Amino acid sequence: MNKINLYKFSLKNCPRPMRNLVFQFGQRQTGQRQTGQRQALPLRFCAFCLFLSISLHGQTTQLTLSEVVEMAKNQSISARQASTTKETKYWEYRTFLSNYKPQLTLSGNLPAFSRSFIEVRQPDGTIQFQPIRNNNSSLNLSLSQSIAATGGSIYATSQLQRFDDFDRKNTLYNGTPFAVGYLQPLLRFNSFKWDKKIEPLKFNESQQTYIESLEQIALRASGLFFDLLLAQVNLQIAETNLTNTQNILKVANEKYELGKNTRNEILQLQLELLKARKAVGVSKRDLEVASLNLKAYIGLQAEGKIELQTPVQPAALTLSSERAIEQAFANRSDAIAFGRRTLEAERAVAKAKGDNGLNATLTATLGFSNRGITVPELYRKPQDQQTVELQLDIPILDWGRSKSRTKTAEAQRQLTQYTVEQDKQNFQQEIYTQVTLFEMLRDQLSLTVQADSIASEKYRIAQDRYVLGNLSITDLSISFTEKDQAKRDYIYALRDYWGAYYKLRQLTLYDFETESKLK
């Protein structure tokens, strides 16, 4: 392993809390090294990083909610899938743009050898089969440009043809040194015009869909974060309860020796102790499962434990439904899709009308052509070449097929308009409901914080009263339960709040803390 790879390996495997220390060490050493030490320092520095990674292997990794969300957005499998989908849509859009650029094409038949018998009619009307052996090769270089406004195309071409008759040992050339032409469909559906309206909307829609995918990843990551945080809190509660139950049982045994409590209370505490030990085992299992789920989703490869920091109570955000709906219509892919779906329905009607009537194609070409026994002869005094062609396709009797297609497309357009209107109403209602839910959960979080504080204080008082002998074991158990439930309710409230916050970001693609659009 060379020095650079050793350095990268060390930093990659070094736990995140120690990376700043590693970089500070490197900076101090860089400032202190002498000229003669420039070659030795990098290896010592890499060795130091590797030592840290080995010595701290399996240690606890501390993460916050924002760090978990960023890791999920940057390195999870879901993030890579979203990025790949975005790249696919980008290249599809580039393919669309290329349709409106000049196209240079080289085509031909090289070789075009034939050896067979052909039918030849004789002057007296009889048929004879004559053997042939020839090569009829050709090359065609053309430059074309589509015209979106009319649906036609203009082109320039140069052709060269060579014919070899091997039986008669004869070679002939035919070619068009240069020609320009124009092809124009008449009274037909113009796909170029409609694609130019719809494809940019599809591309913009895909860009916003990518941002929505990242916010969906953030929402999922926050849920897994609080799953692990709740398991972490449950283990802390279980271990604390086990310790407290052991201490209380010790006090109860001393009081029992003095005859100040009954055997029933001792049995009750022993039962509580067994429940506490069982709760610790279950909590450890749940913690391991939640930890594995979070690591797998955010793409964290480091071994060891994860210790999550409980998010602080967030600052109050001032939200309004009107503001959220405004940002959603400005940013969401669904808002772009409303216009795209309407245009696609209009395009279907235009196609049905264009394909059901008189279809004609006008082709005109102007250029030069010549023939000869050598290639240079083709370019000496070439002859004028003109072609004009009008192709017609007129339906005379179709038993109402054309009218039916048009009416079907028009009915589908009407249905699309109604569907889009309904989707717009649902779109607004969803955002309005989410804003209302967010504000309610914000208020509930404040109440839950107070309840947690009161339950904890009440439990401490209950412990002291039981030790002093003026509280029953039943009342102490109730205080146990209330304290534990209040702590869990606080974590649940945090989870609901942040879930609603990330859901609101996904629905609006707007950051209400910084008042900026998500990118």
Listed in sequence order, the residues at least 6 apart from 149 whose beta carbon sits closer than 8 Å to its beta carbon are 193
End-to-end Cα, the chain, rounded Å? 39
Look at residue 440 in the predicted model and tell me its pLDDT. Answer: 92
Q: Identify the three-state secondary structure at position 519.
A: coil
Residue 317 backbone dihedrals phi, psi, to 5 degrees: -105, 135
Residue 179 backbone dihedrals phi, psi, to 5 degrees: -155, 145
Domain at 194-336+418-517: CATH code: 1.20.1600.10
Query: Cα torsion at 220, 222, 223, 225 (round to 10°)?
Result: 120
> Distance between CA 168 and CA 418 in Å, rounded?
74
Task: Annotate 345-373 with DSSP letters as a single string.
Answer: HHHHHHHHHHHHS-EEEEEEEEEEEEEES
The angle formed by the CA atoms of residues 322, 327 and 333, to the nearest 5 degrees, is: 130
Question: Can you say how many angstroms the Cα of residue 242 is from the centroid of all Cα atoms in its chain?
Answer: 46
Strands 510-511 and 306-308: unpaired
Task: Annotate 155-221 with DSSP letters as a single string.
Answer: EEEEEEEEEEETTTTEEEEEEEEEEEEEEEEESS--HHHHHHHHHHHHHHHHHHHHHHHHHHHHHHH
Look at residue 20 in the predicted model and tell me its pLDDT. Answer: 44
Sketch the domain layout of the chain as residue ranges.
1-57, 101-147+152-189+358-393, 194-336+418-517
In a structure prediction context, what are the per-residue pLDDT tens digits for the chain, which is 519 residues long? 433 333 333 444 444 444 443 444 344 444 444 434 333 344 344 434 433 443 444 578 899 999 999 999 999 999 999 999 999 999 999 999 999 999 999 999 988 899 998 898 888 889 988 888 999 999 999 999 999 989 999 999 999 999 998 888 899 999 999 999 999 998 889 999 999 999 999 999 999 999 999 999 999 999 999 999 999 999 988 998 888 888 888 888 887 787 777 788 788 888 988 988 998 999 999 999 999 999 999 988 877 788 999 888 777 777 889 999 999 999 999 999 999 999 999 999 999 988 877 788 999 999 998 888 888 888 888 888 899 999 888 888 878 888 898 999 999 999 999 999 999 999 999 999 999 999 999 889 889 988 988 988 888 888 788 777 777 767 777 887 888 888 889 999 999 999 999 999 999 999 988 889 998
- In Å, what is the CA distance from 158 to each residue of 104, 300, 389, 488? 12, 60, 19, 80
Q: If you count them, how many residues does the chain have?
A: 519
| pTM of the complete model | 0.78
Task: Please answer whether residues 173 and 377 qualify as being in contact, where contact means their C-beta atoms are separated by less than 8 angstroms.
Answer: yes
Q: Identify the three-state secondary structure at position 454.
A: helix
Look at residue 58 in the predicted model and tell me its pLDDT. Answer: 53
> Distance between CA 157 and CA 141 in Å, rounded?
6
Amino acid at residue number 253: N
Q: Token pair of 384, please?
A: 């004028």
Strands 510-511 and 516-517: antiparallel
Query: Cα torsion at 241, 243, 246, 247 (round to 10°)?
Result: -110
Question: Can you say how many angstroms the Cα of residue 12 is from the centroid of all Cα atoms in its chain?
Answer: 26
Question: Can you say how many angstroms the Cα of residue 330 is from the centroid of all Cα atoms in its chain?
Answer: 19
Q: Which 3-state string (H, E, C) describes 384-424?
A: EEEEEEEEEECCCCCCCHHHHHHHHHHHHHHHHHHHHHHHH
Look at residue 278 in the predicted model and tell me its pLDDT. Answer: 94
> Distance between CA 158 and CA 382 in Å, rounded?
13
Task: Please answer whether residues 319 and 435 qualify as being in contact, where contact means their C-beta atoms are separated by less than 8 angstroms.
Answer: yes
Look at residue 80 in the predicted model and tell me its pLDDT. Answer: 95
Look at residue 456 in the predicted model and tell me its pLDDT. Answer: 86
